[in-house]
Amino acid sequence: MRKQVEQHRSKIMEIFHHLHNNPEISWEEHKTTEYLKQFLEEQGLRVRTFNSSTGVVAELGNGKPVVALRADIDALWQEVKGKLQANHSCGHDAHMAIVAGVVLMLTDDLSKIEGTVRFIFQPAEEKGTGALHFVEEGVIDDVDYLYGVHLRPAQEIPDGTAAPAIKHGAARFISGKIKGDDIHGARPHLGANAIEVGAALVHLLQGVHADPMVPHSIKMTKFHAGEKNANIIPGSASFSLDLRAQTNDVMEQLTNQTYEIADKLASLHQVDIELDIAADVAASKVHSEAQQIMAIAIEEALGKSRLKKPVVTTGGDDFHFYTIKRPHVKATMLGLGCGLTPGLHHPDMTFNHEAILVGVEILTRTIMRTLRGG
């Protein structure tokens, strides 16, 4: 199969470089959607787009089983070499190229497709809301098996290796506002300093504890208060919190304690503190059968010595909402070793592009084996 993948190298890399050079942020992936739609139609697939959002879904074959393969399509918004811009620093450009490569592989010989293969190019993974939207659109209602892929940092698994599952943790992003009145810098006794309230919030959140056997953390990732005048004590501020937990139960504990701390601080300082969950990603639910099929495919593609154990990471992915909302779906996500450095979401993230071709082979083998009954 490696020889067959090599025959598509030029097209797969062309797709990757186009997507890498034309990143679009969550819910604004309009040109990305159009590019993928055109590619999929050129391959003869049945293509569906959505009036309600970006993203595209395409199919090969008919009947059961229905095997789906998902790629996320959005980029991050971050500072790159001094300029704020969309940037594919999470590898979604590679994920799209890998899934496109599987399309090319499977359309080589449609007689091998015994069932339906559905390709899901999903928007807004970075917001944690794209998968939920596609669930509402009925994209996976009849799906039997669902596979995904994510590049893994060099610190997790080496280049040239792969894992049959990624055991993501839960992530929750909370946006907050402190609401009070500005006061004169010479009269601090007349009101609350929003910066001091924010500092107290940071300090108290570090005292939140859950089961030490379950990795978890709470961090403030943004805080803004005050404007141009240095002699005004700001009464209001905005901030963001990043909550992580390896299980959904611990995530609920962290969230409840965060809200309790905010309520008590608001009462103590006589200000209003508003918290709003801006995005939410659930911890993974991996199906053992799907994981086993993926493991066999990795062994066939790379050899047994390059098959790694499932990756356990505190990172999150909204992929897992598919199985939480539709428990009948058997799912797992390929963890692809690719020499990725310095790390995911780093503005200068880079990786070995040869891993894209490896991912194509593994996922093609996974889908073909699934269609044959495991």
For residue 27, the one-letter residue type is: W
The answer to whether 54 and 32 have CB atoms below 8 angstroms apart is yes
**Could you tell me if 117 and 68 lie in one domain?**
yes
Range of the domain at 245: 170-281
Q: Rounded CA gap, 71 and 119, in Å?
A: 8
Taking the CB of residue 202, how many other CB atoms lie within 10 A of it?
A: 14
Q: How many domains does the chain have?
A: 2
Q: Which residue has the higher pLDDT, 109 or 156?
A: 156
**Could you tell me if 274 and 311 lie in one domain?**
no
CATH number for the domain spanning 175: value is 3.30.70.360
Angle between helices 9-21 and 92-107 (to 10 degrees): 150
**Could you tell me if 47 and 158 lie in one domain?**
yes
Q: What is the pTM of this model?
A: 0.86
**Could you tell me if 48 and 136 lie in one domain?**
yes
> Band of the pLDDT at 315, cuts 50, 70, 90?
confident
> Band of the pLDDT at 5, cuts 50, 70, 90?
very high
Per-position b or e across 169-195, b if 16+ CB within 10 A of its CB:
bbbbbbebebebebbeeeeeeebbbbe
**Could you tell me if 117 and 224 lie in one domain?**
no
> Band of the pLDDT at 110, cuts 50, 70, 90?
confident
**Could you tell me if 95 and 112 lie in one domain?**
yes
Q: Rounded CA gap, 296 and 362, in Å?
A: 9
**Could you tell me if 46 and 64 lie in one domain?**
yes
Q: What is the pLDDT of residues 34-43, one digit of tens each?
A: 999 999 999 9
Q: What is the pLDDT of residues 19-30, one digit of tens each?
A: 999 999 999 999
**Could you tell me if 28 and 62 lie in one domain?**
yes
Only one residue has tokens 């500092």, namely 199
Q: Rounded CA gap, 129 and 59, in Å?
A: 23
**Could you tell me if 273 and 289 lie in one domain?**
no
Domain boundary among 234, 262, 281: 281
Domain boundary among 229, 250, 281: 281
Q: Rounded CA gap, 1 and 352, in Å?
A: 20
Q: Rounded CA gap, 62 and 145, in Å?
A: 15
**Could you tell me if 99 and 50 lie in one domain?**
yes
Per cent of the chain over pLDDT 90 is 94
Closest C-alpha to 361, from 292, 301, 303, 293: 301
**Could you tell me if 197 and 163 lie in one domain?**
no
CATH number for the domain spanning 94: value is 3.40.630.10
**Could you tell me if 245 and 301 lie in one domain?**
no
Domain boundary among 238, 263, 281: 281
> Band of the pLDDT at 99, cuts 50, 70, 90?
very high
